[in-house]
Amino acid sequence: MELVSENKVAGGWHRRYRHRSQHTHCDMTFAIFLPEQANSDQPVPVLYWLSGLTCTDENFMQKAGAFKRANELGIAIVAPDTSPRGHDVADDPDESYDFGLGAGFYVNATQPPYDKHYQMYSYVSEELPALIEQHFPVSTKRAIAGHSMGGHGALVVGLKNPTRYHSISAFSPIANPIDCPWGKKAFTGYLGEDQALWQAYDACHLLRNSQDDLRVPIRVDQGEADQFLAEQLKPEALAKAAQASDYPLALTMHPGYDHSYFFISSFIDAHLDFHAQHIK
């Protein structure tokens, strides 16, 4: 790993690293916040944060205001990039914001040319945690969270790996991607036309088919003034899926809040407290 930058913040350290990924076959960048309690004699739990469309690891780390509370709780935060990057990595031919670079959707692509690099599900759920646990003073107690496309990713990764994560949370997630324009475009491009294969990356489908003895607690917060609420996010579908399977989902709607990091920064401490209940 190559250290890109480091900054002292809120008593802990924020560091960015670059490394060669075995799954995405390109250089990947991630950021980690280590609280002051973290050392080899006292490894700390980790919250993995997945960001949304057009974002990198920097958006959450610079805008969410999470470090002070994370340091108080003794929780590390890891934020990967949202897609593979590089001159040889395939992008959307139309260079749109919602597909290709910056829009990996946390799936393992099966369709060329994207299948060579866009293996974000395996990178996030397997390679990155193994790398973090090998090189940093962290424990195997993991939680996962995200925003928008990253909220979709957090729900899917957490639900598909209920023995690896103790808690899941999301801000404004793309809750039912098989039934919204963003999801349909991404899944068609990355996974092909067979919509039966899309269900493996749809949180509503995973909730409805979850096993009773393998249920990770989920918290979701959604702004009622979100400009993407009705067309893209569909939290009501997530609530119905949870109700149908009696899944422990806590969904809260917030009047006046939009899709921005102003919303995230308003409630990030509550999300950190939620995860601390399960990983501390």
Cβ atoms within 10 Å of 133's Cβ, excluding its own: 15
Nearest to 11 by CA among 84, 72, 52, 92: 72
What is the three-state SS of the chain? Answer: CEEEEEEEECCEEEEEEEEECCCCCCEEEEEEEECCCCECCECEEEEEEECCCCCCCHHHHHHCCCHHHHHHHCCEEEEECCCCCCCCCCCCCCCCCCCECCECCCCECCCCCHHHCCEHHHHHHHHHHHHHHHHCCEEEEEEEEEECHHHHHHHHHHHHCCCCCCCEEEECCCCCHHHCHHHHHHHHHHHCCCHHHHHHHCHHHHHHCCCCCCCCCEEEEEECCCCCHHHHHCHHHHHHHHHHHCCCEEEEEECCCCCCHHHHHHHHHHHHHHHHHHHC
The Cα–Cα gap between 55 and 44 comes to 26
Which residue in the list 21, 51, 148, 169 is annotated as catalytic? 148
Burial profile 7-17: b = 16 or more Cβ within 10 angstroms, e = fewer: eeebebbbbbb
Q: Is 259 a catalytic residue?
A: yes
83, 152, 226, 275: the active-site residue:
226
Active-site hit among 23, 259, 271, 275: 259
Task: Point out the residues that are catalytic.
Answer: 148, 226, 259
